[in-house]
Amino acid sequence: MTVWGILLAAILTAAILFVPKAGLLALWNRFRSHRDRTRSEDALKHILAWRQRSGPASLESLAGSLRLSPSTVLHLATRLETAGWIQCGAAGIELTPAGERRALQVVRAHRLWERHLADDANMPIGRLHQAAERAEHSLTVSQVARLDAHLGHPQHDPHGDPIPSADGRVASLNAVCLNDWPVDMPGRIAHIEDEPDAVFRRILAAGLRPSQVVRVVEAHDASLRMQVEDAECVIDRALAINIHVSSARRDDLYPADAARLSDMRQGDSGEIIGMGPECTGFSRRRLLDLGLTPGASVQVVLDNTFGDPRAFRVRGTTIALRREQAEHVWVRPRESAARMEVSR
């Protein structure tokens, strides 16, 4: 009896350890290979980013960026060099053509995933980067290609960075730093750098988002006073370094009498001017499909006891929208019939 018990326990232990795919050993191997892939890809990305910014990367910069010990980084660099992805020369670490292709693939996966999270899952822009940092290491090339087709081959990620094409071409950013933008000229925010995180968060907190049309009202030595949609904000020049602006037409600015649909009161009506650029992807398509297109007339017909959602009359149907959606819809208000009676 005891012998059989010990034998059974031994077989069970062996099974738990060595079963292919589900055993502890297989799990450990999978964990290690994923960790190795993450490290190599992060290293390639770092070398690519440094070359674009300041020059060749070094073992020190790699260790600092990946938060690894010097010996681990040395091991990693040897592995990448053996794989033919990098070349350690006198000036520092350079990418080989194969390594550059691989690095661009990772960047492509990262930016497409950010686009997906922003467009489909409606994730706030401040959380995109962290989520994509994780996802980029588990996507395969064919998954990335499918994602690209599903999203309609987007050219830019939600921050405005160009998405590399499948064969590794990267469009250049056609924009000027906000600090160099002339006063009073309308410009569209083309790009907000999402690293470092603290700077990015302060820019978001000031109310700036990619694709907004903005105007510098006054330029001071250390800060800029700007008009952003229906609000004004002051932003430090140190933060403005990370913002890039491209040209916009004057009528891209919302007219002075424009209002957000969410700010209108029950009974008010108006004509839709357009939808704000922050509302993208799936949410934007839904609103368009409901008939909230420029030129359509809209009326607030029903308030909600709890404030949200409220109901609007558009194109002969009544639809309920939450505040977070209605605030993206810009309307030119009409004097409502009820109010005209009062004024008479």
- Contact set with other proteins (CB under 8 A): 116-117, 120-123, 131, 153, 155, 165, 171, 211, 274-275, 282-286, 288-291, 293-296, 301-302, 304-309, 311, 315, 317-322, 325
Q: In the bound complex, what is the minimum distance in angstroms from residue 56's beta carbon to other proteins?
A: 31
Look up residue 246 and give its two tokens: 């491209």
Q: Are 284 and 216 in contact (CB under 8 A)?
A: no
Q: How many residues does the chain have?
A: 344
Q: Are 19 and 25 in contact (CB under 8 A)?
A: no
Query: Between 281-289 and 97-119, two packed helices, what is the crossing angle to 10 degrees?
Result: 40
Q: In the bound complex, what is the minimum distance in angstroms from residue 265's beta carbon to other proteins?
A: 15
- Give the C-alpha separation, 165 to 155, whole Å: 9
Q: Are 242 and 199 in contact (CB under 8 A)?
A: yes
Identify which of residues 56 and 309 has a Cβ nearer to other proteins in the complex. Answer: 309
Q: In the bound complex, what is the minimum distance in angstroms from residue 308's beta carbon to other proteins?
A: 5
Identify which of residues 227 and 297 has a Cβ nearer to other proteins in the complex. Answer: 297
Identify which of residues 39 and 188 has a Cβ nearer to other proteins in the complex. Answer: 188
Identify which of residues 251 and 289 has a Cβ nearer to other proteins in the complex. Answer: 289
Residue that is written with structure tokens 């990262």 in the block: 110
Q: In the bound complex, what is the minimum distance in angstroms from residue 182's beta carbon to other proteins?
A: 24
Q: Give the contacts of 319 (CB within 8 A, at least 6 positions apart).
A: 290, 311, 312
Identify which of residues 66 and 301 has a Cβ nearer to other proteins in the complex. Answer: 301
Q: In the bound complex, what is the minimum distance in angstroms from residue 281's beta carbon to other proteins?
A: 9
Identify which of residues 168 and 274 has a Cβ nearer to other proteins in the complex. Answer: 274
Q: In the bound complex, what is the minimum distance in angstroms from residue 275's beta carbon to other proteins?
A: 7
Give phi and psi for 145, each to the nearest 5.
-65, -40
SS3 314: strand
